[in-house]
Amino acid sequence: MRRFSPSARALTLASLTLLGLMATARAQSPQASRTTPCPTATELRAQDLHGLWRLVLWPEGGSESAPASTGAMLFGPHPEYPGSVRGRLRRSSPGADLEAEVAGDVGDDGEFNLDESADGVAMDAVWTGQPSDCGRTIRGLRRTSEGRPDAGQALQFLLQRAPAGH
């Protein structure tokens, strides 16, 4: 019988918590009432990002099929900045599970921008990417912020909206 480490159990429980919160975020999302059947990146709004997203990170030059880290993000409305999102990131990493606060948006030019902070104060990384697949997929780069031990390190990322009911 396979036994999971305490950190794997914690990540599993955290993922289940994120899944439970997704129904609440989805209920608040007006995406279902959108009249455009498939929005382009420039038509996406912050509300279109609300909900649970699956995450894969891998080194530049590597492959998403050999990830350096996997996890999930849960986005909801940003309480201080209308038109933006705020949420939580939970992901595995070699030797540790990581959690962080995230906040960002999709700009008028269709570019996805996100700030990541483990403590909610100092920025640990910035994410930039391009939405595709009717806003259900976002691909881009996560760069570690200046002043961090691995400053400037870039990882490619893939965010995919979690299927309904998960």
For the chain, the first-to-last Cα distance in angstroms comes to: 26
Residue 33 has pLDDT above 90, yes or no: no
Provide the mean pLDDT of the chain. Answer: 82
C-alpha distances (whole Å) from 21 to each of 24, 75, 84, 108, 153 are: 5, 10, 19, 28, 31
130 membership: H or E segment, kind and range: strand 125-132
- Listed by start position, the domains of the chain span 6-161
Residue 64 has pLDDT above 60, yes or no: yes
Residue 1 has pLDDT above 60, yes or no: no
Q: Which listed CATH number (3.30.1050.10, 3.30.565.40, 3.40.50.740, 2.40.128.120) goes with 6-161?
A: 2.40.128.120
Residue 147 has pLDDT above 90, yes or no: no
Question: Dihedral angle at the C-alpha atoms of 47, 50, 53, 57, nearest 10 degrees?
Answer: 60
Mean pLDDT in residue range 20-43: 57
State the pLDDT confidence band at 160, using cuts at 50, 70 and 90. Answer: very high
pLDDT digits (tens, 9 = 90+) for 9-28: 444 444 444 444 444 444 44
Mean pLDDT in residue range 83-95: 91
Residue 4 has pLDDT above 70, yes or no: no
Evaluate whether 106 touches 45 at the Cβ level (below 8 Å).
yes
Mean pLDDT in residue range 148-166: 85
pLDDT digits (tens, 9 = 90+) for 126-144: 999 999 999 999 999 999 9
Residue positions counted in the chain? 166
Evaluate whether 46 touches 65 at the Cβ level (below 8 Å).
no
pLDDT-above-90 percentage for the chain: 63
Taking Cα atoms as reference points, which of 54, 51, 55 lies closest to residue 85?
A: 51
